[in-house]
Amino acid sequence: MKKYFLMLIVAAISHGLQAQYFPAGGYQGGTHGNVTADSFNLEFMVENQAGNPIMQAVITVGGQSNPQGDYLFENMEAGVYGYQVSAPGYEDAFGSVLIDEGDVTLLVVLTAMPGHFLDLVDVDIGPGMVECYYAAMVITVAGEGHFFVAEAGSSTTLIAGESIRLLPGTHIKQAAYFHAYIGTDACPPPMPAAVTGKDVTMQEENTAMDQTDDLLFRVYPNPTTGMFTVEFVGSAMGERVVVEVLNLHGSLVQADQVPPGQRQLSLNLMGHQPGVYLIRAMADEQHATQRIILR
């Protein structure tokens, strides 16, 4: 054996070649000296279920993890690799990928954990509608060919714990109330158009209600540019009545007391943020609530 090994070295030197020495077990692939094996690039695209990109994922392939947001794995040898994709607020994704004849680009779609992320796509908030959306982390509006429209006379509030992304396709019409902010307070429970204890039929835009034994009132003009009137009906108007104006978060904007026997009260919201407000009237244990839109 030694004789043949020496003859191999002598032959290599005599022909001007560089001898190569491989580790025990033979050649396993990769680069050893001047011998180069094929290598490929593996790149990930990470999106949410609405098709919007996720930029803060951490990806692990075959036990190797890239820094957060780095989705390219270079110089990968041919083979089958398991991967894991993790991002804050999303469920982890697992799978495997085959690399054999060329570079590979792999799309991974992550599913948001309940309440952490909210994608508002293909939404139309019509006139008179009041909507509030909350997510513990991120709200994404429109994007990737989707739309979000807030029509005139509508009210929309967005609350997110970390960020709100308004992407192309977001349309807020003139005279629409749209408020987006970062906070931890969830949306207040929706209020009905009128709370009276009996069925109410809306007859026209300036809400009018039939007289009943409960404490009822109507508000006009509605919508308003500032000044409006609260007109009371019902048998409870001989008592002292308290009228409150609140925003959609339940914060008190103003309050007035109505003397016994007075059936009308003039109020003014000029100087306040346009949008939807709640008008609440209370007398003893009776109460009624209506919405008014400030333009």
Q: Are 231 and 220 spatial neighbours (Cβ–Cβ below 8 Å)?
A: yes
The single-letter code of the amino acid at 77 is E
What are the pLDDT digits (tens) for 5-24?
433 333 333 333 333 333 33
What are the pLDDT digits (tens) for 32-55?
444 446 899 999 999 987 777 888
How far, CA to CA in Å, does 129 sit from each of 126, 148, 157, 291? 6, 14, 11, 11
Q: Whole-angstrom Cα distance, residue 20 to residue 26?
A: 12
Residue 214 confidence class, pLDDT cut points 50, 70, 90? very low
Domain 216-294 is found in CATH 2.60.15.10: no
What are the pLDDT digits (tens) for 40-99?
999 999 998 777 788 889 999 998 999 999 999 999 999 999 999 998 878 899 999 999
Closest CA to 83 of 45, 38, 51, 29: 45
Higher pLDDT, 66 or 26: 66
- Its pTM stands at 0.39
What is the domain partition of the chain in residue ranges? 39-111, 117-182, 216-294
Q: Which pLDDT belongs to residue 86? A: 94
What are the pLDDT digits (tens) for 100-119?
989 999 999 988 777 788 88
Does 25 have pLDDT greater than 50? Answer: no
Q: Which CATH architecture is the domain 39-111 placed in?
A: Sandwich (2.60)
What are the pLDDT digits (tens) for 224-271?
889 998 887 665 555 678 888 988 777 889 988 887 778 888 999 998
Q: Cα 81 to the chain's mean position, in Å?
A: 33
What are the pLDDT digits (tens) for 138-187?
888 988 888 999 888 888 888 888 888 888 989 988 877 888 888 776 77
Q: Whole-angstrom Cα distance, residue 70 to residue 57?
A: 8
DSSP states of the chain as a string?
Answer: -HHHHHHHHHHHHHTTPPP----TT---SSEETTEE---EEEEEEEE-TTS-B--S-EEEETTEEPPTT--EEEEEPSEEEEEEEE-TTB--EEEEEEESSS-EEEEEEPPBPTTTEEEE-SEEE-TT-EEEEEESSEEEESBTTB-EEE-TT-EEEEEESSEEEE-TTEEE-TT-EEEEEE-SPPPPPPPPS--SSS-----SSS------SS-EEEEESSSBSSEEEEEEESGGGGS-EEEEEE-TTS-EEEEEEE-TT--EEEEE-TTSPSEEEEEEEEETTEEEEEEEEE-
Q: Mean pLDDT across the chain, nearest whole number?
A: 75
Does 130 have pLDDT greater than 70? Answer: yes
Say whether 216-294 and 39-111 share the same fold: yes
Q: Which pLDDT belongs to residue 238? A: 56
Q: Whole-angstrom Cα distance, residue 52 to residue 117?
A: 12
